[in-house]
Structure 1
Amino acid sequence: MFPVILLLMLVILLAGCSSSSQKTSALKENAKTEKEYKEVTIDNYGEKLVISQKPQKVLTLGPNATELFIALGLSDYVIGNSLNNHSRGALPAYKEQYEKIPELTHGSATREAVLTSGADFIYGIDWEFGEAGLDKKELASSGIITYQNSALTLEQIYKEINDLGKIFQIEDKAKAFIADQQSRIAKVKEKLENKKTVNVLVYDSGGEGVFTAGGTNFESLLIEQAGGKNIFSDIKDKQWTTVSFEKVLEKKPDYIVIHDYDAPSAEKKIEEIKNNPALSQLDCVKQEKFVVITLESVLPGDRMAYTVEELAKGFHPDLFR
């Protein structure tokens, strides 16, 4: 009996030693990694960021920002996200991981929620900062580094992805992700080579006019890559603006891209358009040439290729049957 008990005690003791040894080894490995981290200096749209340690607790402000972190294999660093009211849910490949990330705020991130979150790094869409949003200087004084997501071109979003690769020591993965996006977009452009460009109205919401995307909006670029042209691409001083119904009639769009998010639903927006005395006169409305896309899909993030593919299918369905 006693030999058996002694044997069991020995096994438990050895297991404890092994577990302790593994924990010590893991701590040493983490310390080694932090020690080997080389300071990274980033130009974030004219603002100099110096990162001396790899961020450990990240807030992603915007569904596009959250999904990009998942796409790059960085979801374990994310402790909270915001603006899920501007989302219809993650892409299927990222859904499970997305739902595991705690929601900091459903809408825009509040000052109190951010400052008490324990975060040391933020990657967030630009409209979350400034006069009506978060103060980056205050965040910095609280030990939070802010990287602003403000891309207006493919080159700029690719730079953002490369920057994240440097900051989180995943440069090869970032480059591979960019290469995949570039390849998929190139394939769409190849298919569209001899197709006539279609004129597109972006319909975010209605009211006294149409709230739409201007020429410097990232969405205008995606529409262009998909074989279309934003009819208000000549508005260069605003990313988002309200235009009159009369202006829309003058431009005669071939298709209407409708943003789907929160409320009202895309179906309700189509109903609004059809019942509008001015917009209902458009041939594209009579022919129901609507292309519905989720709002996060037209924001700079991980969905560039996906969005170009989806829009191209909507504008040129004969090529993608």
Structure 2
Amino acid sequence: MKINIAPFSLLFVLAAATPALAYPVTVKSCNREVTFDAAPKRAIANDVNLVEMMLALRLQDRMVGYTGVSGWKTLDEKLREGVKELPELSEKYPTKEVLLNADADFLFAGWNYGMKVGGEVTPETLAPFKIGVYELTESCIHVMAKQKPDMNDMFVDLLNLGRIFGVEDRAETLVDGYRRQLAEITKANAGKANPTRVFVYDSGEEKPFTSGRFGIPTAMIEAAGGANIMDDVEKSWVEISWEPVIERNPEVVVIVNYGEVKAEDKIAFMKNNAAFKNVDAVKNDRFVVLDYVEATPGPRNIDAIARLAKAFQGEGL
């Protein structure tokens, strides 16, 4: 599979001359235009949410494995069933050696979702080995300027994967369904005068790790009728201090559940710490738990938004 970087003018000509589902196809991946001469046959996805995007498009028969799950998280039964025939090639981020040993021709990953800026595995380092890379749109903030995410970022990823793998109709049907679900959820929250103040608590006791302006939870919270109290922090995921959390007084705390420290442990930490006794969410016991795969870009975002919307209205807490 040949990977080319083409100028915009040439891409326009190619797009105009190429019928749907024919190759080559060109997609935008962060700040790159990437052309695929054929559908990948030996793909690898990193992290549970990206694996689930592949599964949602029924692309497991095009995959040789996945990476970056058991080193931090556990597979739930739904995901385990979907990938039962596929090996986990690396518990954490894949190395170049892992990808080459698997004879991979495609990697679906993101910045801080399997790749690090300046790291061993990047689109540039894999290009000489004919391994195409598609980057998770939410993660592009690490390599380029972009607007804060909305749910369209996840839809764009699914549609681009559909084009790359030649299952464009399948991707469009899936995304159309998600858009209809999302429209029903957000209709009741349109024009809400006082959005619910929300804090996303991922991990950490001395300093919390949270989602800032460019993380997908901000888009999910807004779609559900809330406002991320860390919306002014120009990061996707970031460590902050507790002081601004206390000062901004969230009405709901969204707990991201994964790893050895469970959601109930994080809730107990906040409820038993005198520093948080005047925080509305703690006083009123308003915590919502989202699994990691729900709080990162992927197919489970839509149902998670529905749960958030109910929680912000005082239901299901």
Matched, 1:300 2:300: no
Structure 1 residue ranges without an equivalent (≥5):
1-35
- Partner residue of 1:121 out of 106, 123, 130: 106
- Partner residue of 1:56 out of 12, 19, 41: 41
CA shift for structure 1 position 111:
2.9
Equivalents in 1 of 2:120, 2:227: separation in Å? 32
Q: TM-score, normalised by structure 1?
A: 0.82
Matched, 1:148 2:129: no
| Equivalent residue runs for 1:1-20 within 5 Å | none
Equivalents in 2 of 1:99, 1:141: separation in Å? 31
Amino acid at match of 1:89: L
Structure 2 residue ranges without an equivalent (≥5):
1-20, 139-148
The structure with more radius of gyration: 1
Amino acid at match of 1:150: T
More helix by share: 1
* 8 Å contact kept, 1:218–1:299: yes
- Partner residue of 2:51 out of 44, 66, 70: 66
* 8 Å contact kept, 2:246–2:276: yes
CA shift for structure 1 position 207:
3.0
- Partner residue of 1:222 out of 209, 212, 220: 220
Identity %: 29
Equivalents in 2 of 1:310, 1:249: separation in Å? 24
SS in 2 for 1:81: strand
SS in 2 for 1:238: coil
Q: Match for residue 4 of structure 2?
A: none
* 8 Å contact kept, 2:150–2:220: no
CA shift for structure 1 position 38:
1.7
Amino acid at match of 1:220: T
Q: TM-score, normalised by structure 2?
A: 0.83
Equivalents in 2 of 1:150, 1:208: separation in Å? 31
* 8 Å contact kept, 2:197–2:228: yes
Instruction: Give the number of equivalent residue pairs.
Output: 283
CA shift for structure 1 position 248:
1.0
CA displacement 1:247-290 (0-9 Å, x = unmatched): 11110100000010112111111122123331243231122111
Equivalents in 2 of 1:80, 1:37: separation in Å? 26
Q: Match for residue 76 of structure 1?
A: 61
Q: Match for residue 286 of structure 1?
A: 283
Q: Match for residue 96 of structure 1?
A: 81
Equivalents in 1 of 2:304, 2:120: separation in Å? 28
Q: Match for residue 5 of structure 1?
A: none
Equivalents in 2 of 1:263, 1:74: separation in Å? 30
- Partner residue of 2:156 out of 156, 159, 163: 159
Shift in CA distance, 139/216, structure 1 to aligned 2, threshold 3 Å: same
